[in-house]
Amino acid sequence: MADRHPSSPDVAPFIIVPAQPPAAPEAVGRAALAVVNGWRAALEGEPATRLAMFRFLNAMAAVRMGLVRELRRGELRGTRVVFLASEEDEEFYAVADPGLGEQEAAAVEELLRLLGGID
């Protein structure tokens, strides 16, 4: 699927950092780093449109899981984005919106299913 609204370098990639440190930060930190490095390696060389879609679907999954709250959709520096907020760390985020329309909910559901669902 062609991305009609490519990710802009002015729109920061979507990142969530927990406000509370985990009970065993060394072990969890190593495990989290391994996951991140695995995805980084798997996505290396992928087209920018695929990376933008991956960021967007992960952001919307985080909204469904209650990790962040969707504030609104709009435009930032000429790129259509979704504005998000994390109440845990009081940070705001913007992720490029590829404009999936009616297909968005199904794509987010599929990602959550692949990731093992939500609690």
Per-residue pLDDT of the chain (119 residues; tens, 9 = 90+): 333 334 444 444 444 443 344 444 455 456 666 666 676 777 778 787 888 888 899 899 889 988 899 999 999 999 999 999 987 778 899 999 999 999 999 999 988 888 776 55
Position 41 in a domain? no
pTM over the 0.85 mark: no
Q: Is residue 76 part of a domain?
A: yes
Instruction: Evaluate whether residue 59 is within a structural domain.
Output: yes
Which residue(s) pair with 41 in the sheet?
Answer: none
Cβ atoms of 97 and 70 closer than 8 Å: no
> From CA 12, how far away is CA 29, in angstroms rounded?
22
Full residue range of the structural domain in which residue 87 is found = 48-114
Tokens found for residue 36: 């991140």
Distance between CA atoms of residues 28 and 21, nearest Å: 9
Residue 32 within any structural domain of the chain: no
Q: How many domains does the chain have?
A: 1
CA-wise closest residue to 11 among 77, 92, 84: 77
30: in domain: no
Look-up of token digits 């520096």: 77
β-strand pairing of 91-96 with 69-76: unpaired
In a domain, 31, yes or no: no
Domain membership flag for residue 98: yes
d(CA 44, CA 37): 10
Q: Is residue 100 part of a domain?
A: yes
